[in-house]
Amino acid sequence: MNTEQILAEIREANLSYLMLAQSLIRADREQALFRLGISEDTANVLGLLSPAQMMRIASGNTLLCRMRVDDDLVWSLLTNHGKAAANDGVNRLHANILMAGRHQEAA
């Protein structure tokens, strides 16, 4: 994959993320804040963006969204390292609780 292809993929991911974020914010603001890991102020800005503004913002060469999982424990829970599939639901719930706590700390 060359540089131009990577930049095109970043732009596409940015636009998809902005459209998803705006849709979630408009449908259920509280869920959007949690699922996207964003603040009220950010949600206000995203919710009011026009399509032209979203296109302009998305066209940059920097990815707008980022990995929220930066903890070995959460990655271990999500990937079920050595665990039986029966524990998958419990592990995902535990990971979601940990990430929700971090969202509350950041807000």
Task: Sketch out the chain's domains with CATH numbers.
Answer: 1-66 (1.10.4000.10), 67-107 (no CATH)
Output the pLDDT for position 79.
Answer: 74
Q: How far apart are CA 85 and CA 13, in angstroms?
A: 31
Residues of the chain with pLDDT under 50: none
List Cβ<8 Å contacts ≥24 apart for 97-103. 98/71, 98/73, 98/74, 99/37, 99/68, 99/69, 99/74, 100/34, 102/68, 103/33, 103/34, 103/37
Contact 96, 74 (CB under 8 A): no
Q: Give the pLDDT score at 50.
A: 97
